[in-house]
Amino acid sequence: MMKMFRTMAALLILLALLALGGTAGHHMTTTDAFCSSCHAYEKVSWDQGQHPEVGCLDCHTGGFMRDKVQGARKMFLVFTGQRDPHHDRLPSYPEKTQANCKGCHLTETAAVHQPFFLARHEGYMAATGSCMACHESGHVAAVREQRHGRR
């Protein structure tokens, strides 16, 4: 019974993915609302952070192909009951996000307009290797820990 359910679910996902293949599907699956449908806790810690106006994917993208493959994989895990994004502790890869932090903040414009800021930050990064050693990420740490405390 369970096995049949899984096969059905997998088929449904495949169909859904095919349907989402077009431009409209791409648009829908890149919105903050879509991400938040599975990541409600992260939405709250993001709303209260320093980046409520920066979209989820602006920080979390790993490039178009990786996003699509990882997205399909996550859908599969959820619909086959292997992961519950609201209750399971999710993997976290701050280092993957960091390239995008740099892309917005340690820019050529900054090099021109804030040379000291940039020079200091080269030193900071050499010492710690992580933006999050000194700054909050896209999520307020206290709220993030609460979410993790649940399990």
Distance between CA atoms of residues 127 and 78, nearest Å: 39
Binding-site member from 2, 91, 109, 149 for ligand HEC (CB under 6 A): 91
Distance between CA atoms of residues 98 and 90, nearest Å: 18
Is residue 60 a contact residue for ligand HEC (CB under 6 A)?
yes
Is residue 135 a contact residue for ligand HEC (CB under 6 A)?
yes
Binding-site member from 9, 20, 90, 143 for ligand HEC (CB under 6 A): 90
- Segment contacting ligand HEC (CB under 6 A): 2-10, 11-19, 20-28, 133-141? 133-141
Distance between CA atoms of residues 142 and 131, nearest Å: 17
The number of residues that bind ligand HEC (CB under 6 A) is: 55
Residue 60 class from Cβ within 10 Å (0-12 exposed, 13-18 middle, 19+ buried)? Answer: middle
User: Among residues 1 and 12, whose Cβ is nearest to ligand HEC?
Assistant: 12
